[in-house]
Structures are given as structure tokens and as C-alpha cells.
Amino acid sequence: MTSAAPDHRPDHWDARGYARAARFVSDLGAPVVALLDPRPGERILDLGCGDGALTARLAEAGAEVRGVDASPDMVAAARERGIEAQVMDAAALTFAREFDAVFSNAALHWMTDAEAVLAGVARALVPGGRFVAEQGGMGNVAAIRTALIAVLAEEGVETTLHDVWRFPSPAEQTAALESAGFVVESMELIPRPTPVAAGMEQWLAVLAAPAMAKLPEARREAARARVAALAAPALRDGAGNWTADYVRLRFRARLERAE
């Protein structure tokens, strides 16, 4: 699932490339769908719907589903699945008391203005509505991020990558949700080492595209190779198989008050 960054930013996402290199992201989304427990007739917003792979599962459960994503290419792919989807900045959601639930998988960590995003989610929900999501949590892809930061520094780009990803701890996310008017019903940090069949350089090309965009295009291929070389001792086995050091944060919260 993709960033819901402001629409004036470049669209780094290619739906077909994402499907080839990162289909495991939605394939691993079954537990968060189960936590949502979608019901027939419910109105559900999929925040950061990507190409609609999981949105379609919610619709199959009988829910009335709408998807939003910052990427026009991803929204087009979701519409090809028959999903009602639109391009929208998650930090400026325009909905008011329209949904029984908001769902998000592998997208919130791209939304770095958490206060604005959660305020918009709260406005979109009916009182008592639920917000169920899974995102990168504290420690997510730590080895990859460390290698990325080091290589970008070698290239003259000093960054923490906090403008690209937000990977909160359970305590941080709980506090943010409570400040937005939610009661947190469950919050779990889940280590999930994940095989990357496409290889690390392809992972970087697709899932770290906004980070790599800090470099001129002509320098990105060599930079991806250097990042992979730095990450290999931690994430590649003797047979050459890559495993990304994913850590997921999964939560269920309920809107306590209307803003």
C-alpha cells in the first residue's frame, strides 16, 4: 500500500511493478482484515488502498467500500478491480461521519503527518466507529534504513528518512490515537521477517522509491547496489536469499467522541 502524501509530490508508485515485487504486502494482510471483521452493509474506508487487493476482500465480505490513495496509478489499478477509489491526501481527508470503520494496511507509515491523518480519520467515522490498521512499527526495516541513510550520506544527502517513513512504538501510536479521540482496544508490535523473492535491489527500487528519489536518477542504480551490499551481512543467507527485517504495528481503536 502506498503513501498518501500531498498530491503535488511526484507519484513514485507503479502499480504493475508493485504487484510484481511487493504482492507479499497484501498477501500478508489477512490478520488485519480478520481484526477488522467487516460485516455486510457496513461502510468502510480503505486508507491507502494501493491497487485495491485488500479492498476487494472487504467488498467480498459484503461491505460498502471506498478506497483512497495518493498515487493516481494505484487508484487506477484499484478501479480496474471494480473498487470505488479516488486520489486523496490522507492528511486532508474530506469525509465527515460517513464510515462505520476505517481500515489501513501497510500505508500509515508513509503518512508522516500523523496528527492530521488521525484527525481526518476521526472526522470520517461515525461516533463509536472503529479504526483498524497495520503499519510498520518501531524497528521496521532497521537494517535497510541504516544502509540507506549511510549510502545517502556518502552521496552528500544527510537525512534521517523521517520525512519518508514514520515507524512509531506502541506507546507513541497509542498516545497519538488517544489525542485524536480514540480508545485503543488492542496494540501489538509484531516482528515479521519476510522473504524478498525479488531481491533487495528490486525491493529498494519499488518500496524505497521515495527515499531513493533524494538522488538524481542517474545515481540511483549504483546507490541501490551499495545499499544492498551493506545490508547483505544482516539480511542475505549463504544461498543468496533475502529476508527483510519487517516489524509491524497492528491496532484496533474506537472513536470515543465526535470532534
Spans of all domains in the chain: 15-142+165-196+244-255
For residues 106 and 29, is the Cβ–Cβ distance under 8 A? yes
How many beta carbons lie within 10 A of that of residue 222, not counting itself? 12
DSSP state of 215: S
Residue 15 confidence (pLDDT) above 60 = no
Q: Phi and psi at residue 63, in whole multiples of 5°?
A: -80, 155
- Classify residue 121 by its DSSP letter: H
What cell does 3 get? 503513501
Asked if 224 and 205 count as a contact pair (C-beta separation under 8 A), the reply is yes
Cell numbers placing 1: 500500500
Q: State the cell numbers at 125.
A: 467515522
Can you give the pLDDT at residue 1? 45
Residue 3's pLDDT is what? 41
Comparing C-alpha atoms, which of 194, 181, 176 is closest to residue 244?
194
The candidate with the shortest Cα–Cα distance to 36, out of 150, 170, 186, is: 186
The CATH code belonging to domain 15-142+165-196+244-255 is: 3.40.50.150
Name the residue with cell 515479521.
192
Residues 162-196: tens digit of each pLDDT = 999 999 999 999 999 999 999 999 999 999 999 99
The answer to whether 245 and 144 are in contact (CB under 8 A) is: yes
- The label of the residue with cell 479492498 reads 55
- Please tell me the predicted confidence (pLDDT) of residue 258: 52
**Over the range 59-96, which residues count as b (16 or more CB within 10 Å of their CB) and which as e?**
beeebebbbbbbbebbbebbeeeebbbebbbbbebebe
So what's the pLDDT on residue 22? 42
- Give the separation between CA 65 and CA 57, rounded to whole angstroms: 10
pLDDT of residue 11: 55
Three-class secondary structure of residue 28 per DSSP: coil
Please tell me the predicted confidence (pLDDT) of residue 29: 65
Q: What is the pLDDT of residue 30?
A: 82
Compute the average pLDDT of residues 230-245.
98
What's the whole-number mean pLDDT along residues 23-44?
Answer: 80
Element (H, E) at 154: helix 142-154
The cell for 200 is 533487495
Q: Which of 205, 168, 191 is nearest to 244 (CA)?
A: 191
Q: What are phi and psi of 245, to 5 degrees?
A: -90, 70
pLDDT at 17: 52
For residue 97, report the phi and psi dihedrals to the nearest 5 degrees: 55, 40
Cβ atoms of 12 and 204 within 8 Å: the answer is: no
